[in-house]
Amino acid sequence: MNIKKMLVGGAASALMLGTFATAVFASPNTLNWGTETNAGECEKIGKPIVNVTQKVINDVDSGFNGYWAFDNYNRHIQVWESTTPGEYCAIVRYTGQFDAQAGQSSPDLGSTNILDGDEDGAFEGGYRATITGTLDATPAWNTRGSVGSFDYDCDLSANCPGYVSWVVQYFNPGYVFAYDWWGWIYHAGNNGSWVNSSEGNSGGIL
């Protein structure tokens, strides 16, 4: 997946997970993302101040070798006030499908495989982040329920005219966004599986 997509105010929307991935390999091809994106990992106060779901279609995904798939997914966005004044803990969880694109390079580090477009499958994961800043007193999006469906309309060059950053909907300008953990696992059936995480990477999509 692509962390750039989650980036605060990033111009491109692409899920560029690979861009942020480390070159460390983990084994086996499993990812304990549910634990890392559990609310218990936040040093928080009370209930979430943001608790919404969002549907995204036509996002572009990147790996170590460039953009390789289009993604459709649902994500659950939650934000809590932190025990540290002025800080907020955000957890965003993803479940979705990826559509590999023929002629693009496989996303795993060092791969020379070229995709034929049949390597489609499902992915899941998410991230935990710390946001330092001030909440918008009148946020652009509702703070409960669904915020709707968004078509990012990306191409394989990461031009995404429909991209919208969720963070700017809730925080005033000047906030600082930092990832504490992120990771996704891709399942492509007989075409393999790939883990892309801040803890390391393993496997590959053939």
Examine the pLDDT at 62 and tell me if it is beyond 90. yes
The model's pLDDT over 145-204, given as tens digits with 9 standing for 90+, comes to 999 999 999 999 999 999 999 999 999 999 999 999 999 999 999 999 999 999 999 999
pLDDT tens for 66-87 read 999 999 999 999 999 999 999 9
The reported pTM is: 0.88
HEC profile for the chain? CCHHHHCCCCCCCCECHHHHCCCCECCCCCCCHHHHCCHHHCCEEEEEEEEEEEEEEEEEEEECCEEEEEEEEEEEEEEEEECCCCEEEEEEEEEEEEEECCCCECCCCCCCCECCCCCCEEEEEEEEEEEECCECCCCCCCCEEEEEEEECCCCCCCCCCCCCCCHHHCECCCCEEEEEEEEEEEECHHHEEEEEECCEEEEEEC
